[in-house]
Amino acid sequence: MVKREIFILKTGLTRCSRCGEDVEMAVYVDYMGRWLCKNCFIEFYEKKLRNTVLKYRMFSSRDLIGVAVSGGKDSMAMLTALSKVFPDLKIKAIHINLGIGDYSRDSENAVRRLCDQLGVELIIYDLKKHDGFSLPDLMKTAYRKRICGACGIIRRYLLNRIAWENGVRVVATGHTLDDTVELLFELYLNGRIEEIVRVKPVLEGGERLVKKVKPLIELTDQENKYYADFTETPYSEFECPLARGSRMLKRKELILRIEKEIPGFRHTFYKSHVKRFLPKLDGLIRRPELRACRNCGMPTIGDVCSYCKLVSKVLEVVKG
Amino acid sequence: MVKREIFILKTGLTRCSRCGEDVEMAVYVDYMGRWLCKNCFIEFYEKKLRNTVLKYRMFSSRDLIGVAVSGGKDSMAMLTALSKVFPDLKIKAIHINLGIGDYSRDSENAVRRLCDQLGVELIIYDLKKHDGFSLPDLMKTAYRKRICGACGIIRRYLLNRIAWENGVRVVATGHTLDDTVELLFELYLNGRIEEIVRVKPVLEGGERLVKKVKPLIELTDQENKYYADFTETPYSEFECPLARGSRMLKRKELILRIEKEIPGFRHTFYKSHVKRFLPKLDGLIRRPELRACRNCGMPTIGDVCSYCKLVSKVLEVVKG
């Protein structure tokens, strides 16, 4: 495994603010302003993940669940933690290879390695092989201007279909607190209430629609990185070359700068959303009725689902 | 009048992006990214103020209104603009002298000068003389930790009472877009929905309660400064010494930094609040019923109003 230099370390001995031991290596948890030793951090992280799963009734400890793994630190930390915290859970890891060069190759390798280590069943879906196009092909279409959005359509759709076809009815995704707050910031700023009410720890399923749960929704990117490194969880350190300089990444940076000014900003905003706004706004928004896509049969609001529309547009260009 | 250096000037000639003239002096309106010459800026500002007043039906052009003037750039710009844009308006300017040393003396002087210039009737209320304490006295009480909040209680209460007792039923206050967004940011972050629904361009009045209107709510601090300077409106440049380093001022700076990252942030957030959230949230929150304060008879939610409570606590300490 690649040796990574990631910890914010104090020189000399540091006192762990949980167990009180003086240790050589400790990590700084920014929003708490506290230092934790390796063992205490691992316990702390697993307890938080466990509490999140139980609090929002994401699944029961013997359920069969799908775990979406991109190969990045967040979802890989989640897979390690879930299999450790809930040893009786039946897990199918699901990875979608998007065909983005070295980034996708490295991601798939990391996923294979981790699933091997953990003894977890792995389903790999190769976009190019199954659907005849890869993510970079979108750069030749009108989707190039909102490539991350288009990628989201693809991943959401495939994840749901692959899970459903494999008998999985609950899927865990690696959305972190940082991801959630970045999205909420955008949605609140623009008053997109219909979308605001969809940002939840749990989205219930339905016919051909799996339940989606977010065990990492109260954990930060930083915490996932620490956990992955401390548990020697393999993950890909490649950044998606298509997302480089995206608005999403810039917003995440902005939010970290706000957090510096307002300590606890992410947790406060998230809690206000879940505890104050959601209960008020939820009742106001009518859920759109879903029907079967004319083309693929999967749930959609319209006549043809966004994925089928996207595929037909992309294949038009790819096949030329 | 003091000569002020305030304009972001280009060297040499600048083309006004409104009239197209090449001019020696132009100002940069940050959220538009445009340069305007003096005359175009004045017209632009007055048109915006006029549109805000009409759009939200704040008052009619021949009404009697009170205008709250602190002596700072915002409320003084507003007084100049209101008397120019609505020449038939009957205006009573209301100034509260809070007894904060040079700051209050300079503010009152500026207010007197402007009202003289405009021929506007002026009501000055001297807190120390009438109520036996001044703002700095609060520093000796438990209010010192939230001095700006306590000052808000005092100003809101007195403004309403003075206006009401002088036959005024509509009062304009100088709350700017920056003030509003700073407040909204705080309230949305903390999910304080009961208070969110009170942030409006117009708050209707009632028994012993004047209607409150905010003609500057869509104008930025920067625009008010430009307008005051271009129209040679006198104002005090003293900053309140008690507010120095306050959370409110830090938040305003933070919001300007966010605006640099997300151009139009303030306008977008404000519009989402007014057009998207307010209509949804307004119906959900029951308005608290008001009754007469047992002590002073002015409207309050409880038994004794916050002002009377504050006065009794402060006088206890002052009289010692």
Assign residue B280 the CATH number of its domain: 3.40.50.620
CB nearest A189 (choices: B250, B268, B275): B268
Within-domain flag for A17: no
Q: How far is CA B234 from CA A67, A74, B229, B272, in A?
A: 66, 57, 8, 34
CB nearest A276 (choices: B193, B250, B261): B193
Residue of B nearest to A275 (CA): B191
A59, A61, A62, A68: CA torsion to nearest 10:
50
The per-residue pLDDT for range A55-110, each reduced to its tens digit, is 999 999 999 999 999 999 999 999 999 999 999 999 999 999 999 999 999 999 99
Q: How far is CA B63 from CA A98, A127, A229, B67, B169, in A?
A: 66, 68, 69, 12, 10
Contact: B189, A272; criterion CB under 8 Å: yes
Q: What is the pLDDT of residue A5?
A: 44
Residue of B nearest to A181 (CA): B189
User: Which single residue is written with the structure tokens 């003037």?
Assistant: B69
Contact A236/A71 with Cβ under 8 angstroms? yes
Within-domain flag for A225: yes
- Beta-strand pair B202-203/B211-213: antiparallel
In this structure, is the dihedral angle defined by the CA atoms of residues B6, B270, A278 and B258, taken in order, positive or negative?
negative
**DSSP structure class, residue A142:** G
Q: Measured between alpha carbons, how far is B311 from B295 in angstroms, rounded to an integer?
A: 11
User: Which single residue is written with the structure tokens 């605006």?
Assistant: B259
Q: Measured between alpha carbons, how far is B37 from A195 in angstroms, rounded to an integer?
A: 42
Within-domain flag for B272: yes
Q: Measured between alpha carbons, how far is B56 from B312 in angstroms, rounded to an integer?
A: 38
Within-domain flag for A77: yes
Give the ipTM of the model, two decimals please: 0.90
Residue of A nearest to B275 (CA): A191
Comparing CA positions, the residue from B291, B61, B185, B198 lying closest to residue A189 is: B185
Mean pLDDT of A220-237: 96
Q: What are the structure tokens assigned to B73, written together?
A: 């750039």
Long-range contact set of residues A145-153: C-beta below 8 Å, sequence gap at least 24: A147/A242, A147/A243, A147/A246, A148/A242, A148/A243, A148/A246, A148/A248, A150/A310, A151/A98, A151/A242, A153/A306, A153/A307, A153/A310
Per-residue pLDDT of chain B (320 residues; tens, 9 = 90+): 333 444 555 556 889 999 999 988 888 887 888 899 999 999 999 999 999 999 999 999 999 999 999 999 999 999 999 999 999 999 999 999 999 999 999 999 999 999 999 999 999 999 999 999 999 999 999 999 899 999 999 999 999 999 999 999 999 999 999 999 999 999 999 999 999 999 999 999 999 999 999 999 999 999 999 999 999 999 999 999 998 888 888 999 999 999 999 999 999 999 999 999 999 998 888 888 999 999 999 999 999 999 999 999 999 988 87
Where would I find the H helices in B166-239?
177-189, 193-196, 221-230
Within-domain flag for B30: no
Question: Which residues 173-202 in chain A show a CB within 8 A of chain B?
Answer: 188-193
Mean pLDDT of A131-135: 95
Q: What is the pLDDT of residue B269?
A: 98
Residues in chain A: 320
Q: Measured between alpha carbons, how far is B225 from B236 in angstroms, rounded to an integer?
A: 11
Q: What is the pLDDT of residue B305?
A: 97
Three-state SS at A268:
helix
pLDDT at position A6 over 50: no
**DSSP structure class, residue A172:** E
Report the DSSP beta bridge partners of residue B34.
Answer: B29
Contact: B273, A191; criterion CB under 8 Å: yes
Q: What is the pLDDT of residue B319?
A: 81
Q: Measured between alpha carbons, how far is A141 from A139 in angstroms, rounded to an integer?
A: 5
Best of B186, B197, B248, B258 to substitute, by most chain A Cβ atoms within 10 angstroms, is B258
Q: What are the structure tokens assigned to A24, written together?
A: 């050589």
Contacts of B191 in chain A (CB under 8 A): 271-273, 275-277
Q: What is the pLDDT of residue B19?
A: 93
Residues near A72 by beta carbon (within 8 Å), at least 6 away in sequence: A107, A174, A235, A236
Does the beta carbon of A227 lie under 8 angstroms from any beta carbon of chain B? Answer: no
Q: Measured between alpha carbons, how far is B146 from B187 in angstroms, rounded to an integer?
A: 17
pLDDT at position A3 over 90: no
Q: What is the pLDDT of residue A13?
A: 83
The pTM assigned to this predicted structure is: 0.92
pLDDT at position A10 over 80: no
Q: What are the structure tokens assigned to A61, written together?
A: 């400890």
Range of the domain at A95: 42-289
Q: What is the pLDDT of residue A8?
A: 55
Q: What are the structure tokens assigned to B311, written together?
A: 């006065």
Q: How confident is the model at residue A2 (pLDDT cuts 50, 70, 90)?
A: very low
Within-domain flag for B115: yes
Within-domain flag for A33: no
In this structure, is the dihedral angle defined by the CA atoms of residues B178, B180, B181 and B183, taken in order, positive or negative?
positive
Element housing A118 (H / E): helix A101-118
- Beta-strand pair B299-300/A64-68: unpaired
Q: Measured between alpha carbons, how far is A152 from B5 in angstroms, rounded to an integer?
A: 51
The residue type found at B97 is: N
**Tally of domains within chain B:** 1
Shortest Cα–Cα distance, B279 to chain A (Å): 11
Three-state SS at B27:
strand
Within-domain flag for A315: no
